[in-house]
Amino acid sequence: MSDTPDTLLLDTVNTPADLRKLAPKQLKQLADELRTETISAVGQTGGHLGSGLGVVELTVAIHYVFNTPDDRLIWDVGHQCYPHKILTGRRDRIRTLRQGGGLSGFTKRSESEYDPFGAAHSSTSISAALGFAIANKLNDAPGKAIAVIGDGSMSAGMAYEAMNNAEAAGNRLVVILNDNDMSIAPPVGGLSAYLARMVSSSEYLGLRSLASKLTSKLSKRVHKTASKVEEYARGMATGGTLFEELGFYYVGPIDGHNLEHLIPVLENVRDAKEGPVLVHVVTKKGKGYAPAENSADKYHGVQKFDVITGTQDKAPPGPPAYQNVFGDALVKEAATDSRIVAITAAMPSGTGVDRFAKAYPDRAFDVGIAEQHAVTFAAGLAAQGMRPFCAIYSTFLQRAYDQVVHDVAIQNLPVRFAIDRAGLVGADGATHAGSFDVTYLATLPNFVVMSPADEAELVHMTHTAVLHDSGPIALRYPRGNGTGVDLPQVPERLEIGKGRVVREGKTVAILSLGTRLAEALKAADALEAKGLSTTVADLRFAKPLDEDLIRRLLTTHEVAVTIEEAAVGGLGAHVLTYASDAGLIDAGLKLRTMRLPDVFQDQNKPELQYDEAKLNAQHIVETVLKALRHNSEGVAEARA
């Protein structure tokens, strides 16, 4: 970080058009100021920091060289886009990042014309960029598409599907591989090793040789056969054979923090007559901020922090996070069961699989960002008699839905899905909310879908899943900490499809799935205070339903309400379907379903998100009173 001068160059740059007025020699100062501004903003808001710091120079260089927004710049994942937001007219709102009503922590089309494609899930950028490039080609319109994708995101199959198909874009497509040798955790697998070999075996290309190489290789049409030979030669010299084989001109590796190299290289790439081109830049995650550079996770995602010391706000001491309860429970189970294995798709600490990996390194598999592979890999393990736990965030499991259906459910294979971040997730917003898993899993024949009401239940459900060999089973639990209940020393095996009554009443029945149970119990207190005796049941299973319990509750109470932290199509829909099939609706049943609203909810504090979703105790009370046509005092309203 440089000392902040009195007048900032950054103050003169509101958009990339302003940036392009600067002289090349001013760009380093601008980059330094941009880095300082990014650190300062994220210090106040928290968020993804290390990745953005690593692409400060790259961000400046791309906007300097390319004609954004007409040239389409697409950031993969989008978690590294804060410097880009600062340079593209959003500096005045950068301190609202990830706050309710503020800027998104990712790229978002509705936010700016400089975000032509929204993201937050990885490895989509090359496909999307190809779409932009081909559209321009077909319309004979000017404009290139530039995808910036990280080495971690390059592990996903989708990136290769896109590259395999990219030749048609010609010189309109530029892929920049931002290789910082990090994912959230250290990267894994053969591709990562390949990139590391490329970087370690080649010197950074010097400016002079780079420029002349590029000019001669990219500026003139070369005969196809001759060009193929050339590709091999360059591939061997620089190690880019894989990308060359997929139809790219490979350029690199180059130092992604050296603007004197980046600018002329990108200018050459911009002016190339041939393409598509893949530029391999080497960067440091957390670059330029010592606390980030020196930390194990490079400040991938941080709390608010003190900019001088880098010390992050500590979460107040509290109950353990669900992910860690799951990880520890699985470690205990594995002590007596050698068939248990755990799989994560690049989220070892987020899923608690890091704890399992520490205890059982040979039985833990980080497959990289490769959710589809993770699921089918688990299916293979299950088919061979293992007891695989596939631990994937709800939102990322969406990507592997066909694998869930075709490879797991249809074959009735006992893959255990540990689905974290089920429900609202706070600052990451709509892209990361786990809203749909109950809907998309409980609709599948053969599946068992359960959801713990608290961390003790999670331990029981983990045990239940271990012993469930007759088909696929999923347990879904939210982001954040448990409720503080004692954890069982000896886990119970729950009876599949059986719920429990937590509180018995007479007039109102609340049927809860998952951790909204605490709100259901608060609502029951409030309803009792209004003279409405209330039963609260924790159904535990969205599939199979506890039909006996549901029938009893629906037929012996005046009103029944289901509540879940999931979208329409989940528990409520299944209870309604059961009630209809069983003829209970014909008997004048008062049944209401409470669920996530039919909108993509933007980021906010979790407690406010629940308010927006109307899933708190007061909303349960309101729903009950409305169904009973009682006023807010619980007194029956006169009927017209």
Ligand X SMILES: CC(=O)[C@@H](O)[C@H](O)COP(=O)(O)O
Ligand Y SMILES: Cc1ncc(C[n+]2csc(CCOP(=O)(O)OP(=O)(O)O)c2C)c(N)n1
Distance CA 242, CA 234 (A): 11
User: Scanning the structure block, which residue is given the tokens 């009370």?
Assistant: 621
Dihedral sign computed on CA atoms, order 74, 78, 80, 83: positive
Piece in contact with ligand Y (CB under 6 A), picked from 179-187, 222-230, 565-573, 605-613: 179-187
Q: Locate the DSSP E strands across 196-330.
A: 249-255, 277-282, 301-302
CB closer to ligand Y out of 119 and 340: 119
Locate all alpha helices (DSSP H) within 5-156, ordered by sequence: 16-19, 27-45, 50-54, 56-65, 82-85, 125-138
Compute the least distance from the CB of residue 175 to ligand Y, in Å.
13
Can you give the three-state secondary structure of 58-73, one letter per residue? HHHHHHHHCCCCCCEE
245 labelled ligand-binding: no
* Largest interatomic CA distance in the chain: 89
# of chain residues touching Mg ion (CB under 5 A): 5
Tokens of 101: 């009503």
Total chain residues near ligand Y (CB under 6 A): 24
394 labeled binding residue: no
Q: Check: CB of residue 462 under 8 Å from CB of residue 452.
A: no
Between 152 and 275, name the residue whose CB sits nearer to ligand Y: 152
Stretch that binds ligand X, among 333-341, 421-429, 463-471, 619-627 (CB under 6 A): 421-429
Q: Spot the catalytic one: 90, 172, 399, 479.
A: 399
Pick one of ligand Y, Mg ion, ligand X, none as the site partner of residue 287 (Cβ within 5 to 8 A by kind): none
Distances (CA, A) of 70 to 104, 116, 151, 153, 276: 22, 9, 26, 25, 18
- 16 vs 350, which CB is nearer to ligand X? 350
Told to check if 479 binds ligand X by CB under 6 A, we report yes
| From ligand X, ligand Y, Mg ion, none, interface partner of 609 (C-beta below 5 to 8 A by class) | none
Residues for the chain: how many in total?
640
| 182 vs 345, beta carbon nearer Mg ion | 182
Of these, 125, 183, 462, 512, which contacts ligand Y (CB under 6 A)? Answer: 183
Query: Which tokens sit at 460?
Result: 């029981």
How many chain residues bind ligand X (CB under 6 A)? Answer: 10
Least separation in angstroms between residue 301's CB and ligand Y is 9
Residue 120 is labelled as binding a ligand: yes
Q: Which residue is nearest to ligand Y (CB)?
A: 150
Residues 124-153 that bind ligand Y (CB under 6 A): 150-153
DSSP strand pairing (47-48 vs 500-503): unpaired
Q: Report the distance separating Cα 625 and Cα 89, nearest Å.
A: 48
Question: What DSSP assignment string belongs to 556-608?
Answer: HSSEEEEEESS-TTSHHHHHHHHHHHTTTGGGT--EEEE---SS-PPP--HHH
What letter does residue 102 receive in the DSSP assignment?
S
Check the annotation: does 300 bind a ligand.
Answer: no
Q: Out of 85, 172, 285, 516, pick the active-site residue.
A: 285
Q: How far apart are the first and last CA of the chain?
A: 72
The minimum distance between CB 77 and Mg ion, in angstroms, equals 10
CA distance 144 to 173: 6
Residue with tokens 């001013």: 26
**Dist. CA 251–CA 240, nearest whole Å:** 8
17 phi/psi in degrees, rounded to 5: -60, -40
Cα 415 from chain centre: 22
Q: Are 301 and 463 in contact (CB under 8 A)?
A: no
Q: Which amino acid is at 522?
A: K
Is 393 annotated as a binding-site member? no
**Partner whose footprint covers residue 376, from ligand X, ligand Y, Mg ion, none (CB < 5 to 8 Å by kind):** none
Q: Distance between CA atoms of 514 and 422, rounded to whole angstroms?
A: 10
Minimum distance of ligand X from residue 48's CB (angstroms): 6
Q: Which residues contact 7 (CB under 8 A, 6 or more apart)?
A: none
**Residue 429 interacts with ligand X (CB under 6 A): yes or no:** no
11 assigned binding-site residue: no
Tokens coding 432? 């990361």
**Beta bridge partner(s), residue 562:** 511, 593
Contact of residue 399 among ligand Y, Mg ion, ligand X, none (CB under 5-8 Å per partner type): ligand Y
76 binds Mg ion (CB under 5 A): no
Q: Which of 428, 538, 564, 602 binds ligand X (CB under 6 A)?
A: 428
Q: Is 371 assigned a catalytic role?
A: yes
Residue 62 or residue 345: which is nearer to ligand X going by CB? 345
Among positions 90, 217, 270, 285, the unique one binding ligand Y when judged by CB under 6 A: 285
Position of minimal CB gap to Mg ion: 150
Q: Which residues are bridge partners to 434 per DSSP?
A: 423
Residues 377-396 that bind ligand Y (CB under 6 A): 396
- Binds ligand X (CB under 6 A): choice among 118, 327, 350, 491: 350
| Residue 151 annotated in ligand binding | yes
Distance CA 382, CA 340 (A): 10
Q: Which residues contact 469 (CB under 8 A, 6 or more apart)?
A: 387, 414
Interface with ligand Y (CB under 6 A), residue from 184, 413, 584, 615: 184
490: phi then psi, degrees, rounded to nearest 5: -120, 115
Quick one: what does residue 280 bind among Mg ion, ligand Y, ligand X, none, with the CB cut-off 5 to 8 Å set by partner type? none
Q: Is 370 in the site for ligand Y (CB under 6 A)?
A: no
Helix (H) / strand (E) element for 536: namely strand 534-538
Give the Cα separation of 42 and 303 in Å (integer).
8
Residue 293, marked binder: no
Residue 118-157 contact track with Mg ion, rule CB under 5 A, x = bound: --------------------------------xxx-----
Selected range binding ligand X among 26-34, 303-311, 326-334, 420-428, rule: CB under 6 A: 420-428
> Which residue lies nearer to Mg ion by CB, 79 or 416?
79
Q: Does 79 bind ligand X (CB under 6 A)?
A: yes
Stretch 178-207 residues interacting with Mg ion (CB under 5 A): 180, 182
Binding mask 38-57 for ligand X (x = CB under 6 A): ----------x---------
Q: Is 339 a catalytic residue?
A: no
CA distance 195 to 206: 19
Tokens of 602: 């933007």
Q: Is 121 annotated as a binding residue?
A: yes
* C-beta of 55 vs 199, nearer to ligand X: 55
- Per the DSSP assignment, residues forming a β-bridge with 173 are 145
Residue 154 vs 259, nearer CB to Mg ion: 154
Is the Cβ of residue 433 or residue 579 nearer to ligand Y in the bound state? 433
Known binding residue 524? Answer is: no
Planar angle of CA 163, 166, 169, nearest 5 degrees: 155
So which residues are the catalytic ones? 285, 371, 399
- Which residues of this protein are in contact with Mg ion, per CB under 5 A? 150-152, 180, 182
Q: Could you tell me which residues are annotated as the binding site for thiamine diphosphate?
A: 79, 120-122, 152-153, 180, 289, 371
- Which residues of this protein are in contact with ligand Y, per CB under 6 A? 51, 54, 77, 79-80, 121-122, 150-153, 180, 182-184, 285, 300, 345-347, 369, 371, 396, 399
- Which residues of this protein are in contact with ligand X, per CB under 6 A? 48, 77, 79, 184, 301, 350, 421, 425, 428, 479
